[in-house]
Chains A and B, each alone.
Chain A
Amino acid sequence: GAGVSQSPRYKVAKRGQDVALRCDPISGHVSLFWYQQALGQGPEFLTYFQNEAQLDKSGLPSDRFFAERPEGSVSTLKIQRTQQEDSAVYLCASSLVTTSNQPQHFGDGTRLSIL
């Protein structure tokens, strides 16, 4: 499809395990964002890439969270030593250019459950 694709759709992990979440943005989109959405809440910003450069990681909750976009396309969000409070839906969004009013196109998210 032509939209933002995220995988896996669902991930269950035991506390302490490492997880990796993948985002395939819309082809040609320069900007890529990661958001965390807790149950019953709006999405909260985690980090932002412009091509392969990570320009803003101010929303990452701790140093257990790491994101990369090495070739300026696919991105991976990695969470090390997962904890129960990491349980949430992780949303990826992309936009065509790097202007502040540019609409962001969201994927359907990865629902992460930490047992």
Chain B
Amino acid sequence: TQLLEQSPQFLSIQEGENLTVYCNSSSVFSSLQWYRQEPGEGPVLLVTVVTGGEVKKLKRLTFQFGDARKDSSLHITAAQPGDTGLYLCAGNSGGSNYKLTFGKGTLLTVNP
């Protein structure tokens, strides 16, 4: 069974601070996706990373896929209250397997 471990589980910071969320596994993934979920809503896709070592930027968010495609990180610069939410990483093992394996998520609270 493939597992994705996210850390930290909870993170509470002040507006303007930087933060990094980690997603680790002992398994290799074909691709890894990051989602953000707000209370009462479904997860919304932020980014998909496919290539080992890949770095993608989305405004103040920077996503990195590990060289061995077993881990990923999400870095947020100058966090804002609107960044508050549950951040989920999800991996896909590729081939004919289309399902996503999710981590437990990191609940981020950005205080004004």
Contact = CB atoms under 8 A, between A and B. Distances in A.
Interface of A: 4, 31, 33, 35, 40-45, 48, 56, 59, 91, 93, 95, 98-109
21 contacts: A4-B42, A33-B100, A42-B4, A42-B6, A42-B90, A44-B102, A45-B99, A45-B101, A48-B98, A59-B99, A91-B42, A99-B98, A100-B98, A101-B30, A101-B48, A101-B50, A101-B92, A103-B33, A104-B33, A108-B40, A108-B41
A103 B6 CA distance: 20
B11 interface: no
Interface residues of B, number: 30
Contacts of B41: 108-109
A100 B31 contact: yes
Contacts of B35: 106
A35 B99 CA distance: 10
Nearest to A91: B42
Contacts of B95: 100
A93 B42 CA distance: 9
Interface of B: 4, 6, 30-31, 33, 35, 40-45, 48, 50, 88, 90, 92-105
A42 B31 contact: no
A31 B44 CA distance: 17
A41 B94 CA distance: 23
Given A106-B44, A108-B42, A42 B99 contact: no
Given A100-B92, A101-B48, A103-B33, A42 B40 contact: no
Contacts of A42: 4, 6, 88, 90, 102-105
Contacts of B31: 100-101
